[in-house]
Amino acid sequence: MILVNTSDGRKTFVLAHDSYCTALGRCVCGKTPWGRPRAAHLSLGERERRSVSRAVLSVPEIARAIARGRLRAEGVRR
């Protein structure tokens, strides 16, 4: 699936463990230097297109951005 930033400016989304890792079926959280878990993130520059896992659709903030037209998901069957 391709995710496209259709808005002006860079957009950064936190890929929260509870939504993203659960949908993905594996944990991709990093660790801080102190060993604490740190959620992954996704950044898209202005008009940038990036291939991503469909699991990003489970992140509420990304779903809202798509609904508002700030992001576009290409290659998603409905």
Place of tokens 């930033």: 5
Q: Pick the closest to residue 6 from 61, 54, 50 (CA basis).
A: 50
SS3 (DSSP) at 34: coil
What pLDDT is recorded for position 76?
Answer: 76
What's the rounded mean pLDDT across residues 38-47?
94
What's this model's pTM, rounded to 2 decimal places?
Answer: 0.86
Where in the sequence is the domain holding 33, given as residue range(s)?
A: 2-74
Q: What is the pLDDT of residues 16-35, one digit of tens each?
A: 999 999 999 999 999 889 88
Per-residue pLDDT at 78 exceeds 70? no
Number of domains the chain is built from:
1
